[in-house]
Structure 1
Amino acid sequence: NSIEGIERIFAEWGKDIAAVIVEPMAANMGLVLPVPGFLEALRGLCSQHGSVLIFDEVMTGFRVARGGAAEAFSVQPDMWTFGKIVGGGLPAAAYGGRNDVMEHVAPLGRAYQAGTLSGNPLAMAAGLATLQEMESQDAFNKLEQLGQQLDKTVAQKLSAAMQAGKLSYVRKSSFFCFFFGNGTAPRNFAEVSACNMNQFNKVYHAWLNAGIYMGPSGYEVGFLSTEHSQQDLERLVSVVGENI
């Protein structure tokens, strides 16, 4: 999330940088969104120096938008990697990119990529069915509407605690995260690590006791589902308010 940092690295090593791979929004250290201009700066530097910009969209692909984070943030990479949703609940991964990049892969090019389960018919059918179901249900709009409901619920129930610096809240599409002991949303891993993980553990166990199943680490995010209701969101946020 440091524009100055990537500019310094490219200024010194730009001619040697073949590719840059990045999660367009980090979701394995809580939820850390790109600071304004960061992805755009990375796109510009990669284009300037002839480096391939790769978005790791294993978590964000087909989740934050139909076109993933590239669509959500309006920044186009040269290549993508996908996983999770793309297999419809079965083990699968995929990658893709610009025509001139992908033409280097066999049989058109010299780079050979294959595996025992590559293109597994069952996983491909499950992934396609999942994406078709999401499209037919208008799932992306429903998830955003749920997210906006969660925003309002957090504002109603936790605004005083956030103003007091007891926690911060971040959401993008169906991703959300609470950071404890920090009134400002973290911008990098160091700031995430400085949050109060003991407070998270207290809230986490309170969630469990209330029948709410969240990730067991302060470094994980929560996910909204089209099956969640306003009542679910109220319970989720109420437990936070009762335990900080």
Structure 2
Amino acid sequence: MTTISKNDQLFERAQKTTPGGVNSPVRAFRSVGGTPRFITRAEGPYFWDADGKRYIDYIGSWGPAIVGHAHPDVLKAVQEAATRGLSFGAPTEGEIEMAEELVRLVPSLEQVRLVSSGTEATMSALRLARGATGRDKIVKFEGCYHGHADSLLVKAGSGLLTFGNPTSAGVPEDFVKHTLVLDYNNVAQIEEAFANFGDEIACVIVEPVAGNMNLIKGTREFLQALRDLCTKHGALLIFDEVMCGFRVALGGAQELYGIKPDLTALGKVIGGGLPVAAFGGSTALMSKMSPVGAVYQAGTLSGNPVAVAAGMTTLKLIQQPGFYDQLSASAKRLADGLTAAAKDAGIPFCADAVGGMFGLYFSETPPNNYAEMMAGNRERFNVFFHHMLDEGVYFAPAAFEAGFVSAQHTDAVIDETIAAARRVFVQL
């Protein structure tokens, strides 16, 4: 008699009441095949599924769990905040404290507005950019994901400098007709875009360190060109640091590169695992937001006191001496170890890391853009993913997602992962 796993039972049950059985598409394992793992609890660098199997977790709730799961200080802050009430719909001192902390830590920020998701943050930053410039056109880059707002669900057009096409049903062509999609890390294309449409472009939005087409670093030349061209043509530069903010450095990618955007979107880490995000920039720009300006934005649960408590505690923990040195060393140890294990097995593979983010690529060299990422061996990644899952290691269930280490991924945990990978690579 075949025993059906609890994960299989839950997935079958979930599909009856939830589209695809999940509340966010990548969780469905559609890219890699198989049954998603339903998680029951998490602690430190681990989580456990419904069948009781323990995994070394390298998604960390897709970034927020930078201090590890269920950190006692974060849990205590959440519990204490919850005893005072879950939501008020009125201002709290905690919101002020978070805004002050973000302004202190992130170079480009003078004022911020708290929201509840990364999508809200980027959507609102775009609206502000259009309102501030009086222009409609925006530039984004193929493979960068900025949330599921209509004007951002866009793929590249049929040729250079053609405007994009919707990547989702339900998005009218009119919503994306002003969105120009270019190649990431391509300086010539952005120069041509501004030469053709410079006085019509409201903003350029970019992940300075991309994490949604696996990990791809923006080159300094590329990001500096964006800064220079936006300044020259009166457009605004938006850094989407929802993923890389507080992940690649304490001040985010803008501190790492020394490039100051006009607007920044933040999320994930600043909520410590609960839904907090933010967008901000100069006081002059942010003064155009309601209630003092004409650009409208609102949110009933924005700055939720329980979520802010989790986020503020996380922000304090990551400022401990040596935190980022250890985090970066862990990610590099993992990337180097996996690369060496694959080389020993004769598998075309490489890995890269920056701060607490890493990327795995079944190709000889790390990709520089979406097209190069798509050229990797995704079928081999899928086999690798499932073998590692069997070994008790949970990487992102898609070849297009960055991975994350936490402060709880010790050398012993990393080495256990590398040992598992050695066993797997010889089977590929």
- Contact 2:244–2:253 (CA under 8 A) maintained in structure 1: yes
Measured against aligned partners, the alpha-carbon deviations of 1:1-27 in whole angstroms (never above 9, x if no partner) come to: 100000000000011001111111110
Measured against aligned partners, the alpha-carbon deviations of 1:149-181 in whole angstroms (never above 9, x if no partner) come to: 3354345434456xx67112121111111111x
Give matches, 1:1-244, under 5 Å: 1-136=185-320, 138-154=322-338, 156-159=340-343, 166-180=348-362, 182-241=363-422, 242-243=424-425, 244=428
Percent identity between the two aligned chains: 41
Query: What secondary structure, in the 3-state scheme, does the structure 2 residue paired with 1:235 have?
Result: helix
TM superposition score normalised by structure 1? 0.92
Q: Which runs of 4+ in 1 moved over 3 A?
A: 154-161, 238-242
| Cα distance between partner residues in 1 of 2:381 and 2:326 | 28
In structure 2, the gaps of 5 or more residues are 1-184
- Contact 1:18–1:52 (CA under 8 A) maintained in structure 2: yes
TM superposition score normalised by structure 2? 0.54
Aligned-partner residue type, residue 31 of structure 1: L
| Cα distance between partner residues in 2 of 1:33 and 1:105 | 31
Aligned alpha-carbon RMSD (Å)? 1.8
Query: What secondary structure, in the 3-state scheme, does the structure 2 residue paired with 1:171 have?
Result: strand
Aligned-partner residue type, residue 334 of structure 2: L
Q: Higher RCO, 1 or 2 (CA under 8 Å, sep at least 6)?
A: 2
| Cα distance between partner residues in 2 of 1:154 and 1:208 | 15
Give the corresponding residue for 2:72: none
Query: What secondary structure, in the 3-state scheme, does the structure 1 residue paired with 2:332 have?
Result: helix
Measured against aligned partners, the alpha-carbon deviations of 1:81-124 in whole angstroms (never above 9, x if no partner) come to: 11111112111211110122111112332222211111211111
Q: 1:196 to 1:148 in 2, by over 3 A?
A: closer
Query: What secondary structure, in the 3-state scheme, does the structure 1 residue paired with 2:259 have?
Result: coil
Q: 1:188 to 1:5 in 2, by over 3 A?
A: same
**Aligned residue pairs: how many?**
241
Query: What secondary structure, in the 3-state scheme, does the structure 2 residue paired with 1:135 have?
Result: coil
| Cα distance between partner residues in 1 of 2:406 and 2:270 | 16
Q: Which entry has the higher C-alpha Rg, 1 or 2?
A: 2
Query: What secondary structure, in the 3-state scheme, does the structure 1 residue paired with 2:333 have?
Result: helix
Q: 1:15 to 1:174 in 2, by over 3 A?
A: same
- Contact 1:206–1:239 (CA under 8 A) maintained in structure 2: no
Query: What secondary structure, in the 3-state scheme, does the structure 2 residue paired with 1:81 have?
Result: strand
The structure whose residues are more often helix, as a share, is 1
